[in-house]
Structure 1
């Protein structure tokens, strides 16, 4: 079995790691979109988080052939290739059984296999729009419905959708990007010490992955406990009205379209507070998650050439004044 790079051993990329942890605590966030340079640890971080999480009941996990399973299984991690057809994604008629036995049977797709885990799409901005739209619909509803060739099938499809891409290769349509819960930007580290540390850790992992994993096992257990504590405390975290007013004022100040941004901002701030072990959401929690919850929901202002993140930070400063 291939050993995954430890999540705790990833150097830097704090925003990406924080967004993934928030999504792990509250799947209702709506997934994470990661834009950035190639080779910055995007897929490594998602795989590492999936490998870190505790095994789940087989009845709650994805399945290969529709056969019920018992016991515990690892959290599913499913890669969706760019060339995947709609039938491959949602599932279709099992032609082998139909032709061989004359039985109409459902052949599960990638959405079924991802249930209870993560569905990862690299270069999501190059995926066909109708497939992305379909994925976001299912991710939001938690259920996949297939009606074709005389089949009518419903099955749970609750997963955390993670998309990554390089903006230089094309942008995701704003209508689709808006439906991702969080959006983070990752860049190639520019600090010499950080780059050298990345090289050291990658080399150590490639040489002796088991030994490297053992060195980071204590840190991984600590991260896992943080996630478990966050999940358990999430429902009890208080969200004062004053903080909600602050969040709404921020969304108005930056001109965020619709209320999806505010809802995501609220959920992400609560999840972050739960991760921090806080009983009450504060304005600081809102400020921390605001860029990742709102940056992809802002209209471009032809009179303001500053980036979305700068506009959000400027609005936060004005509201705090």
Structure 2
């Protein structure tokens, strides 16, 4: 059975309506839901006399079908330019749509939903967004891919000295600032890495430069350098560091930068969810299987600045930089 009502179905509905049949009876005879038949009659009947005419109803349904309908983005050059500018900045379609609503609150013609942007990239192909812009999406894919269950990750280290369950209870409250999550993203053949730090309440990102190696000693040094650059009012604790410190000892780290460090339980990356999400965002800039040692500190700072300038859904579409500025002002 077709998903949509066909012309023959509409002729049958019109004939049965003339015979005074009920909507439920018609639906049962067509093996359709009563709401489908009721909605069809309500939407496609004549607006003046209320009569249901099957061929006119078929024409109205064809006009409403999405594929023949002109796309909003392709029809408006200003909207298309704004969406393309957001994609050039590596914003997600949802971030772009909410930014447009904030930027043009009184112009509904500049408002779209994120599915419209995806359709313009994946389906339309011509006359809307540049095809190569699909490569700027977080996944980098030029076509959609069905979701699959992620493989279970192996434990990064065995028997950490101070586990995440030992941290203060206030760290579980995402509204309390000053708690950071950290990890490494690994490059080609595990030969290079970049350290990541994310503040839990603001999602503010800092990247650790590891130009030579990612041993425990190198990560400790990079972490100590980053700790000195953190705002004093927003750096109460650094928590949940990942595999780069499997050989480190939390007391040593505590002495280096004065902040306690807690390790996730084995195979439990969800315990530092903000950091895992950020690592996924960073893969847009640092793809898997590439040499990460070629990126200097200036480039890492530029990438962090771009991430901190993105509007985030979890922040009410504010940027991490804006939220951190408010925090420091208070």
TM-score for the superposition, normalised by structure 2: 0.24
Higher strand share: 1
RCO higher in 1 or 2 (8 Å CA, sep ≥ 6)?
1
Greater C-alpha radius of gyration = 2
TM-score normalised by structure 1 residue count: 0.24
